[in-house]
């Protein structure tokens, strides 16, 4: 409590980790979810801001290339101001707040102002970058010690507060933070004070991210190598015999899709799952939603069917979207799965079946061929005369299923459960990647994703932007649409699932 009796705020100094958003701690995520204000550095992955409430105030207080957006005193004052105003503040800092993060200075300012604070440790850059580069900082066959050093100290002065003599003796691993601009001088000092010029060195840039770059050499030649390759910050420099283990232990940047940029054209609220599958293989997945799912113009046809749900013999659901919209509307009407009564349920494929099971229902039928034609092949084995079938669908869905089921003798209702419309615009990141010709692959998971992209870009511009880009289609129907629009399909999985599509993309690039 403050003297006036008001509750004071609190500031959480949260380590965001070295770049991979999955490396933040559970406690860090908890703090972000409660935050009213987030003050973040440029080294903190911006994806982490998605954990904060939509109403949270987001303040960028980073430092880029040594140029301060705000100096440290201003940041300290900002944290104090927000804390004294009774706000829950997260100071999101790259790496760990207490390892070259100036967290100690911020805590001193908060303590002096009487603002409560908590430290949430993070994976520091030395640990994260080394691990993702396949370099153990300690190894009993090489060294039992590691020293973390600022790489920027001593750039423009002869005197140094670093004990270079002790740092250079022995075989301990040394990690320099943010030392690319002073690399040559730091390496020369280690040699001058006794380290062998042949000591292995690794530079790790943007460690733990899909943009990770690793350059290896020795104390004698690493500066020349860095200049030749135009190696830029931010990076850590790892010095020691353990660097030699990288060739044996390298894992992160040796995955088949590492460094590949892949556009995911699914709807914004569905792209995350596919993007995560691709990221596990090392790809940079760029979300480029070409679909926006919205409510039908008229709920009456679907509501009428739901009111008589138990009178149907079959419910046919051919996508996860159909499952989600069907059950959401059922719940909105005050009903649940019990309304199905004896109505049996058909799922088009395993992912749709999984979504149905999420509502406590085990599908009665799933075809071996995960598409509309497979569903019809199964129903062709049955007697459907006068059977009532409910087929909730998208507004642009093919008429194949209801038409063919009626031909088999069924009475089919096919109300619109959702509409597929164009997003307002394509994301700037996706457009920029296409314009730079830096995209390796584009994925289409339905005919609508292809058609909508052509509508948003214009058919000719789409074809021009996708020259040299591998086209991955989830199945033959989508592939047919791609070809009709002039695209060559390079990748199509044998099964029409996201997992199979990911495997097919992986296999395609493994042979490149």
User: What pLDDT, on the 0 to 100 scale, is given for residue 293?
Assistant: 87
Q: Is the pLDDT of residue 5 over 50?
A: no
Number of CB atoms found within 10 A of residue 287's CB: 18
Distance CA 240, CA 117 (A): 37
Residues 472-499, mean pLDDT to the nearest whole number: 94
Asked if 486 and 323 touch (Cβ cutoff 8 Å), the reply is no
User: What pLDDT, on the 0 to 100 scale, is given for residue 2?
Assistant: 41
Q: Is the pLDDT of residue 234 over 60?
A: yes
The 10s digit of each residue's pLDDT in 386-414 is 999 999 999 888 899 999 999 999 999 99
Residues 225-236, mean pLDDT to the nearest whole number: 95
Question: What confidence category does residue 158 fall into, taking pLDDT thresholds of 50, 70 and 90?
Answer: low
The verdict on whether 371 is a catalytic residue reads: no
Q: Is the pLDDT of residue 419 over 60?
A: yes
What percentage of the chain carries pLDDT values higher than 70? Answer: 95
Question: What confidence category does residue 64 fall into, taking pLDDT thresholds of 50, 70 and 90?
Answer: very low
Q: Is the pLDDT of residue 69 over 90?
A: no
Domains of the chain by start residue, with CATH: 10-123 (3.40.1010.10), 127-253 (3.30.950.10), 261-291+423-510 (3.40.50.10090), 295-420 (3.40.50.10090)
User: What pLDDT, on the 0 to 100 scale, is given for residue 43?
Assistant: 82
User: What pLDDT, on the 0 to 100 scale, is given for residue 291?
Assistant: 86
Q: Is 411 helix (H, G, I), strand (E, B) or coil?
A: strand
User: What pLDDT, on the 0 to 100 scale, is given for residue 279?
Assistant: 87
The 10s digit of each residue's pLDDT in 349-387 is 998 999 999 999 999 999 998 888 999 999 999 999 999
* DSSP tag of 322: H
Residues 190-211, mean pLDDT to the nearest whole number: 95
**Radius of gyration for the chain, computed over Cα atoms and rounded to the nearest angstrom:** 29
Distance CA 441, CA 260 (A): 8
Q: Is the pLDDT of residue 195 over 80?
A: yes
- List the catalytic residue out of 20, 41, 253, 440: 41
Distance CA 179, CA 160 (A): 15
Q: Is the pLDDT of residue 232 over 60?
A: yes
- List the catalytic residue out of 63, 303, 313, 413: 63
Q: Is the pLDDT of residue 10 over 80?
A: yes
Q: What is the pTM of this model?
A: 0.73
- List the catalytic residue out of 82, 93, 178, 387: 178
User: What pLDDT, on the 0 to 100 scale, is given for residue 70?
Assistant: 62
Q: Is 462 helix (H, G, I), strand (E, B) or coil?
A: helix
What is the overall mean pLDDT for the chain? 91
Q: Is the pLDDT of residue 159 over 80?
A: no
The verdict on whether 178 is a catalytic residue reads: yes
Number of CB atoms found within 10 A of residue 413's CB: 16
Q: Is the pLDDT of residue 7 over 60?
A: no
The 10s digit of each residue's pLDDT in 274-304 is 988 998 899 988 889 998 889 999 999 999 9
The verdict on whether 460 is a catalytic residue reads: no
Residues 60-77, mean pLDDT to the nearest whole number: 71
Q: Is 257 helix (H, G, I), strand (E, B) or coil?
A: coil
Residues 19-34, mean pLDDT to the nearest whole number: 96
Q: Is the pLDDT of residue 30 over 50?
A: yes
Question: What confidence category does residue 65 fall into, taking pLDDT thresholds of 50, 70 and 90?
Answer: very low
Distance CA 411, CA 280 (A): 45
Q: Is the pLDDT of residue 156 over 60?
A: no
Q: Which residue has the higher pLDDT, 273 or 110?
A: 110
User: What pLDDT, on the 0 to 100 scale, is given for residue 259?
Assistant: 87
CA 357 from centroid of its chain's CA atoms: 26
């Amino acid at each position: 409590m403050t003297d006036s009796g008001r509750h004071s705020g609190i500031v959480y100094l949260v380590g965001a980790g070295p770049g991979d958003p999955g490396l933040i701690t559970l406690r860090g995520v908890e703090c972000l979810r409660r935050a009213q204000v987030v003050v973040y550095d440029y080294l903190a992955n911006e994806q982490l801001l998605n954990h904060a409430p939509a109403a949270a105030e987001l303040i960028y207080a980073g430092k880029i290339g040594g140029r301060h957006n705000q100096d440290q005193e201003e940041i300290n004052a900002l944290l104090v101001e927000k804390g004294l105003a009774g706000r829950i503040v997260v100071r999101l800092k790259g790496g760990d707040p207490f390892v070259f993060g100036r967290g100690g200075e911020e805590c001193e300012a908060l303590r002096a102002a009487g603002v409560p604070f908590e430290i949430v440790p993070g994976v520091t850059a030395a640990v994260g970058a080394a691990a993702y580069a396949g370099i153990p900082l300690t190894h009993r066959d090489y060294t039992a010690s590691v020293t973390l050093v600022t790489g920027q100290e001593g750039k423009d002065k002869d005197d140094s507060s670093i004990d270079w003599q002790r740092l250079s003796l022995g075989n301990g691993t040394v990690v320099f933070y943010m030392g690319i601009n002073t690399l040559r001088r730091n390496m020369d000092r280690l040699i001058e004070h006794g380290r062998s010029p042949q000591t292995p060195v690794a530079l790790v840039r943007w460690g733990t991210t899909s943009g990770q770059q690793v350059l290896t050499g020795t104390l004698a030649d690493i500066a020349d190598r860095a200049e030749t390759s135009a190696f830029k910050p931010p990076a850590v420099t790892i010095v020691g015999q353990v660097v030699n283990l990288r060739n044996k232990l390298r894992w992160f940047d040796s995955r088949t899709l590492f460094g590949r940029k892949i556009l995911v054209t699914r709807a914004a609220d569905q792209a995350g799952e596919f993007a995560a599958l691709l990221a596990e293989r090392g790809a940079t997945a760029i979300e480029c939603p070409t679909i926006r799912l919205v409510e039908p113009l008229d709920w009456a046809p679907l509501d009428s069917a739901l009111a008589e749900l138990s009178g149907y013999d079959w419910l046919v659901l051919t996508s996860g979207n159909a499952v989600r919209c069907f059950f959401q509307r059922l719940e909105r009407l005050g009903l649940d799965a019990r309304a199905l009564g004896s109505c049996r349920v058909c799922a088009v494929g395993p992912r749709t079946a999984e979504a149905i099971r999420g509502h406590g229902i085990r599908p009665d039928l799933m075809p071996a061929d995960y598409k509309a034609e497979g569903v019809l092949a199964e129903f062709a084995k049955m007697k459907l005369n006068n059977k009532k079938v409910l087929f909730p669908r998208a507004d642009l869905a093919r008429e194949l299923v209801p038409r063919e089921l009626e031909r088999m003798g069924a009475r089919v209702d096919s109300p619109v459960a959702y509409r597929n419309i164009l997003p307002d615009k394509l994301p700037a990141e996706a457009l920029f990647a296409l314009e730079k010709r830096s995209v390796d692959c584009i994925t289409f998971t339905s005919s609508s994703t292809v058609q909508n992209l052509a509508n948003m870009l214009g058919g000719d511009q789409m074809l021009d932007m996708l020259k040299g880009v591998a086209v991955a289609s989830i199945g033959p129907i989508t592939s047919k649409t791609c070809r009709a629009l002039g695209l060559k399909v390079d990748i199509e999985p044998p099964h029409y699932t996201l997992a199979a599509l990911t495997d097919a993309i992986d296999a395609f690039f493994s042979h490149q």
